[in-house]
A = this chain, B = another copy of it.
């Protein structure tokens, strides 16, 4: 991830802070109010996923868990809860459901018995490999007409937003 200072959008502009004076929403405009756009995109993505996942017997949350485990081994329940944007109790239930279906394993970490590590089984990976084309197709539709540079620009800006507001170090 490139840092802001390495990638100024407009020379000399990056260090100028945004005006912090409390403008009204009317002055900003709903279509220039970033949280509104982000909420609408998030809801649309999730509704689309829910629709696509019906035939695979996976919930959106289960798909998120498998997606996370497909790229991260030995991840803790707490970490998955953060990455999958859900509460720890819900995540615990979801993981035990997936364990019962043989898609994940949950075991105590060597050296720290309080921590449980989750991993994907072979069947879990197979299940994710089935749904991944749907996620990828949805992603492609979302970013139709975007160049790689524009996509990376959006990732960089969103990463900075997330760093500003997240409650965890990851």
Chain A positions near chain B (C-beta within 8 angstroms): 1, 4, 9-10, 13-20, 22-26, 29-46, 48, 67-68, 70-72, 83, 85, 132-133, 135-136, 138-155, 157-162, 164-167
Contact = CB atoms under 8 A, between A and B. Distances in A.
Given A150-B157, A159-B31, A166-B44, A143 B85 contact: no
Task: Tell me the interface secondary structure of chain A in the complex.
Answer: helix
Contacts of A19: 148
The quantity of this chain's copies bound in the complex is 2
Contacts of A39: 42, 45-46, 85
A83 B30 contact: yes
A17 B161 CA distance: 26
A71 B30 contact: yes
Contacts of A149: 9-10, 13
21 contacts: A9-B147, A9-B149, A9-B153, A10-B147, A13-B148, A18-B146, A25-B67, A25-B135, A26-B70, A33-B139, A34-B151, A34-B158, A36-B83, A37-B155, A39-B45, A40-B166, A41-B161, A41-B162, A41-B165, A42-B42, A153-B157
